[in-house]
Structure 1
Amino acid sequence: MAPAILALLADLIFVVRFLREPRRFGNAVWFALAVVLTGLWLFSLTAGLVWLQTVLLIVVAVVAVVAGLVLPWALVANGSVMWRREGHRPANMLSLLAGLAIMAVYVFTVGAVVFTQVAPWLIVVAMSVLLLTAYVAFVFTALLMYSVLYSRLNRRAHAAAIIVLGSGLLGDRVPPLLASRLDRGVQCYRRSPDAVVVVSGGQGSDELTSEAAAMAAYLENAGVPRTAILLEDKATTTDENLRFSVELLQEQGISGRVLAVTNNYHVFRTAILARRLRLRLDVIGAKTASYFVPSAFLREFVALLVQYKKTNLAAVVVLGAFPPAVALLGQM
């Protein structure tokens, strides 16, 4: 009975929060909790079938072990690809660093077990490290799952206005990442042919024209009428993309549902930002090259951790201090 109550309670809390405001960081955590508790509840329903429970546990264990062993190497490989294709910038090393960090946790944990007789305190430190790793892994998985769910909410939505967020030019050319956003914007426009499309992006120091101008030309070539395109050519950040575009729509007297288009890895953080800015708009994602997604999502994940730094810092302090506290109490 207890698993059922906990699962239904978590499901109810998530659904209520989701219906009230889907653009909340906490929704991701409640969604993950609801999935885990519902899974445990369904597992408890097989209590009379020992063979089935054994099979399920073996499958889960095998998947977990394989994933744990393959994941760090996959991240290191992805980091190498990012380094070669996207340039030698710190942001392109995130997947590489994440893979190496996971390997370091494995090595440290094994070392702590091997040398426990020589230095018993290593086990305590290893427990703290494992708890912190588990917390980061849980939050990351929660955000990943909820981001996928949220990005599918508005796939068929109609809108009065569509905002395409800029992401940088190559001189005066639209690069593939930005082209995917514009192509998604064209798809949205074809579903809402009465909508206006706002292209948002200023001119960088290494760009020959504003992003907005290049994006407008791209849309015209894709068949969007020039009369349906509005240029916002001052923004240099996502914050400004959203604020300046909404202000432009208000100046033009355009009301109704607004969709902002970005890449799929960037959808949820953009939605959270829009909520913080008190902007009434939804966010939809465009496809991204598969090799780019792991590093890009890790960057979004780190940005969200920093954005909610007080909550995450409190969790890190509590989890990190728990094993030492238990060890000290055991010696008293």
Structure 2
Amino acid sequence: MLLYVPSALCLVGFCVGVVRDHRRLSNGVLLGLTVVFAVVAALLQLGSVKPGLSGDVAFGLLVTAAVAVVVLAGFLLANGVTMVRKEGRSLANLVSLGVGLALIVLIALLVAALVLHSRTLAAVAGTAVVLAGYVAFLFVCFLFYAALYQRLVFWRRGDFVVVLGSGLIGGSTVPPLLASRLEKGRKEHTRLSRRGRRPVLIVSGGQGPDEELPESHAMADYLVERGFPADLIEREDRSTTTEENLTFSQALMHTKNPASRCVIVTSNYHAFRAAITARRVGVRGHVVGAPTASYFWPSAVIREFIALVVHYRRLNAAILLVVLLGGLFLWWWGWPPTNHI
């Protein structure tokens, strides 16, 4: 049973982290490590009983992972084409296509290393696989914990509902993405009102250079036109980023109740990163996500993950450097041997 101690320790760390503050990416990493260590322990335990079977299982897992990479690459390429066709050729809309192409390049690099029997190429491919594995592990942790976060019930009460803006069509019209957030905000407001509260709904969004009015004003007009009480709406019309959305909205909340809590509404793909930002700026609130078009979701989720990687850039840069130096050292030491390529 000692084999499972690392997994158990990570699980305890995960539970403690969720109780202390569930708006942390480290909780997702601990959950991922719990699973990884448990699988490794199970394989080692199986190997001590049936050595041949454990090898077969490990090989099966490796083949499954390889097939999954190929399928994922094809899916991302197809999604990238759909994004360009429906949303245009902006850099943000090319994310899924770019990741799909990167996976194809990685596969081609591995095949070339095996076919050409080049030690240098094999070392480069091995280092690339380790880096890809690290990024894939982080992404899976982010993906599953972000989904779990939206199902947690902590902080699902509040004196305010804050709806984050996302841009306007034609400089004045609420687009479907933002309309989905506003409808979700209405539902959260209704849910809180049923509990005897009379929360204020804050619409948050400033005016972009190509917009005729602040996003928050268009958002408020959208709600009032559909019967929402105008006296329960506050406009935060200075923000241009998620951090500013939350910081300026918090200032409005503090003028009414310094100890207030809130429910923050954004799109489902953006919910977890918004929660991390809320924790960082000191907003006491839980984030809920509004539905997003299925074709838009993969690319948007990847963008959110990239933004988190950039946010923790020092740690990730250090790990990247260690992997690169490790690969260079092993190559210099003579790895992999040419007779094993």
Task: Judge same fold: TM > 0.5, yes or no.
Answer: yes
* 2:2 aligned with 1:2: yes
Q: Deviations over 1:185-236 (max 9, x none)?
A: 0110111112111001112222232211111122224442112111111111
How far residue 91 of structure 1 moved from its aligned partner, in angstroms, is: 1.0
Instruction: Say if 1:131 and 1:320, in contact at 8 Å, map to a contact too.
Output: no
1:38 matched residue in structure 2: 38
- Summarize the Cα distance change of 1:156–1:238 in structure 2 as closer, same or farther, 3 Å threshold: closer
Q: Secondary structure in 2 aligned to 1:153?
A: coil
Distance 2:312 2:242 in 1: 18
- Summarize the Cα distance change of 1:185–1:49 in structure 2 as closer, same or farther, 3 Å threshold: farther
Task: Give the one of 301, 305, 309 matched to 1:305.
Answer: 309
**1:118-157 alignment, distance < 5 Å:** 119-154=118-153, 157=156
Task: Give the one of 310, 323, 331 matched to 1:327.
Answer: 331
Letter in 1 for 2:122: I
1:162 matched residue in structure 2: 161
How far residue 329 of structure 1 moved from its aligned partner, in angstroms, is: 3.3
Q: Secondary structure in 1 aligned to 2:65?
A: helix
* 2:82 aligned with 1:78: no
Distance 1:87 1:270 in 2: 25
Q: Deviations over 1:226-284 (max 9, x none)?
A: 12111111111111110111101111336432111111111111111122212222211
Instruction: Say if 1:128 and 1:321, in contact at 8 Å, map to a contact too.
Output: no
> Unaligned regions of 5+ residues in structure 1, if any?
none
Q: Secondary structure in 2 aligned to 1:172?
A: coil
Letter in 1 for 2:168: L
1:278 matched residue in structure 2: 282
Structure 1-normalised TM-score? 0.91
Instruction: Say if 1:186 and 1:222, in contact at 8 Å, map to a contact too.
Output: no
Q: Deviations over 1:161-202 (max 9, x none)?
A: 110000011132110110111111011011111211100111
Q: Secondary structure in 1 aligned to 2:190?
A: helix
Q: Secondary structure in 2 aligned to 1:327?
A: helix
Q: Deviations over 1:64-89 (max 9, x none)?
A: 23322111111011111111111211
Aligned-residue CA RMSD in angstroms? 2.4
2:246 matched residue in structure 1: 242
* 2:183 aligned with 1:183: yes
Letter in 2 for 1:246: Q
Instruction: Say if 1:181 and 1:261, in contact at 8 Å, map to a contact too.
Output: yes
Task: Give the one of 261, 264, 278 matched to 1:257.
Answer: 261
Letter in 2 for 1:73: G
- Summarize the Cα distance change of 1:313–1:289 in structure 2 as closer, same or farther, 3 Å threshold: same
Identity of aligned residues (%): 41
How far residue 46 of structure 1 moved from its aligned partner, in angstroms, is: 6.5
Instruction: Say if 2:263 and 2:287, in contact at 8 Å, map to a contact too.
Output: yes
Distance 2:131 2:56 in 1: 30
* 2:197 aligned with 1:200: no
Distance 2:324 2:55 in 1: 33
How far residue 60 of structure 1 moved from its aligned partner, in angstroms, is: 4.0
Instruction: Say if 1:158 and 1:188, in contact at 8 Å, map to a contact too.
Output: no
> Unaligned regions of 5+ residues in structure 2, if any?
336-341
Letter in 1 for 2:32: A
Structure 2-normalised TM-score? 0.89
* 2:65 aligned with 1:64: yes
Distance 1:44 1:162 in 2: 50
Distance 1:156 1:22 in 2: 10
Letter in 2 for 1:161: F
Distance 2:228 2:55 in 1: 58
How far residue 53 of structure 1 moved from its aligned partner, in angstroms, is: 6.7
